[in-house]
């Protein structure tokens, strides 16, 4: 039914400051530098919960019982296998394709082989399947591109450990799995960010879950959203050594170039996820004997904070975390997608609980009623 309420348009580029919907999932308090999932402080969740508990929390808006957590774990672990056409696609796709491009296309392809898309009541089940399969697709595509064998799917490992098993083909190190698990928690959801908003717009048309998640992945692929951590590690490699940091950053600032991983559209103080990522980055960089990455990162953060009043965001220290785990730089954004998949699914299910199709207005700035001249008269 058409909306008959009078519209009072408000113009703000990029919808900055506009509240486009309500949500019970993540509470991003930018002025306070706080992040809560379903009312729980992110600091408490990182200390007390596993990533799989956070998946349950976001999908059900409450923490699980022991039995419910075991049921979710079993559900995810039994749905990791990929259809053969997806593996065939990975083997025939150009090896120069970025992992996010391959993941986007593979998720779209998955929808072609799932008859459940015709049944709206299966949205949550499809979402769980995607949460289980996205890590497998990221790891398998990488190994195929590198000419490596594909480790068999296992059902005895949690999400973080299983991803490391598939990626490296060796028994996962418990320390590394714990670090990755923490990173997954910190990236799980974050209000109406660009990819979540894009996915909500897509699902608001009552399309299927695969289409909406494909939208989200395509949006996250952009360097202004999910690709920043790749740019951060590239910057650190370019700097090379700690003594080069100040001159490098000075040059960037003089040329008015962006320092990737610094500043945030919402937080006016420190991104509450950054200290946790810094902590685990310190831990693992020291563990592997390469503390220079965190020392350079800290020096960059200090200079930019003093000169530009900008703080490190979630991308800044996640770069050192992933690099210290031996994860190839080209996979950084795909790791973000793995972590955010549960948040996307939860946001999409919430959108459908009380759905209204998104239809903002645009402010026309083109010509005002130009005179039409028939083509024949232009000769």
pLDDT reported for residue 376: 76
Which range is least confidently modeled, 34-38, 134-138, 309-313?
309-313
Helices assigned H by DSSP within 187-256:
194-203, 209-220, 228-239, 245-254
Query: What Rg value do the Cα atoms of the chain yield, rounded?
Result: 22
Beta carbons of 132 and 80 less than 8 angstroms apart: yes
pLDDT tens digits, 44-58? 999 999 999 999 999
pLDDT reported for residue 141: 98
pLDDT reported for residue 123: 96
Query: Taking residues 191-202, what's their average pLDDT?
Result: 96
Return residue ranges of the chain for CATH 1.10.230.10: 227-325
Query: Taking residues 296-310, what's their average pLDDT?
Result: 92
- Write down the mean pLDDT value for the chain: 93
Nearest to 331 by CA among 255, 227, 249, 259: 227
Fold designation for 227-325: Cytochrome p450-Terp; domain 2 (1.10.230)
Return residue ranges of the chain for CATH 1.10.580.10: 42-223+328-353
21-25, 93-97, 362-366 — most confident range = 21-25
> What's CA 96's distance to the chain center, in Å?
22
pTM of the model: 0.93
For 200, left (φ over 0), alpha (ψ -120 to 50), or beta? alpha
Backbone angles phi, psi at 28, to 5 degrees: -95, 110
Residue 6 pLDDT > 70: no
Fill in the DSSP letter of residue 26.
Answer: E
Query: Taking residues 268-293, what's their average pLDDT?
Result: 89
Which range is least confidently modeled, 28-42, 199-213, 259-273, 340-354?
259-273
Residue 203 pLDDT > 80: yes
Class of domain 42-223+328-353: mainly alpha
Residue 280 pLDDT > 70: yes
Residue 315 pLDDT > 70: yes
List residues with catalytic annotation.
264, 315
Residue 124 pLDDT > 70: yes
pLDDT reported for residue 154: 97
Residue 3 pLDDT > 70: no
Tokens of 329: 């730089």
Tokens of 20: 């486009």
Distance between CA 215 and CA 107 in Å, rounded? 10
| Residue 35, helix vs strand vs coil | strand
Instruction: Give residue for tokens 């402010």.
Output: 363
Nearest to 335 by CA among 186, 175, 171: 186
Beta bridge partners of 35: 28
């Amino acid at each position: 039914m058409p909306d008959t309420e009078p519209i009072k348009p408000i113009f703000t580029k990029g919808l900055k400051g506009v509240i486009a919907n309500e949500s019970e999932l993540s509470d991003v308090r930018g002025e306070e530098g706080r992040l809560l999932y379903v009312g729980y402080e992110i600091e408490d969740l990182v200390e007390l919960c596993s990533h799989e508990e956070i998946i349950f929390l976001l999908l059900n808006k409450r923490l699980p019982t022991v039995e419910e957590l075991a049921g979710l774990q079993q559900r995810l672990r039994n749905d990791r296998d990929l259809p053969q056409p997806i593996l065939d696609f990975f083997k025939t796709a150009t090896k120069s394709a970025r992992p996010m491009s391959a993941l986007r296309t593979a998720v779209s392809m998955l929808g072609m082989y799932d008859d459940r898309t015709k049944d709206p009541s299966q949205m949550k089940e499809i979402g769980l399947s995607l949460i289980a399969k996205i890590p497998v697709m990221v790891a398998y595509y990488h190994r195929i591109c590198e000419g490596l064998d594909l480790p068999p799917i296992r059902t005895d490992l949690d999400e973080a450990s299983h991803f490391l098993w598939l990626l490296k083909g060796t028994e996962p190190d418990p320390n590394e799995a714990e670090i990755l698990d923490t990173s997954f928690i910190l990236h799980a959801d974050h209000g109406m960010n660009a990819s979540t908003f894009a996915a909500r717009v897509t699902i608001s048309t009552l399309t299927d879950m695969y289409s909406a998640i494909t939208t989200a992945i395509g949006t996250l692929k952009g360097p202004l959203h999910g690709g920043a951590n790749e740019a951060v590690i590239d910057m650190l490699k370019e700097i090379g050594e700690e003594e080069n940091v100040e001159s490098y950053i000075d040059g960037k600032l003089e040329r008015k170039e962006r320092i990737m991983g610094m500043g945030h559209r919402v937080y006016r103080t420190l991104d509450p996820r950054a200290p946790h990522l810094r902590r685990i980055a310190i831990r693992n960089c020291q563990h592997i004997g390469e503390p220079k990455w965190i020392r350079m990162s800290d020096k960059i953060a200090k200079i930019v904070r003093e000169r530009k009043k900008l703080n490190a965001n979630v991308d800044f220290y996640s770069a050192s975390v992933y690099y210290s785990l031996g994860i190839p730089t080209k996979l950084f954004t795909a790791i973000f997608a793995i972590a955010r998949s549960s948040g996307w699914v939860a946001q999409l299910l919430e959108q459908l609980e009380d759905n209204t199709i998104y239809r903002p207005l645009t402010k026309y700035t083109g010509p005002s009623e130009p005179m039409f001249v028939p083509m024949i008269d232009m000769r």
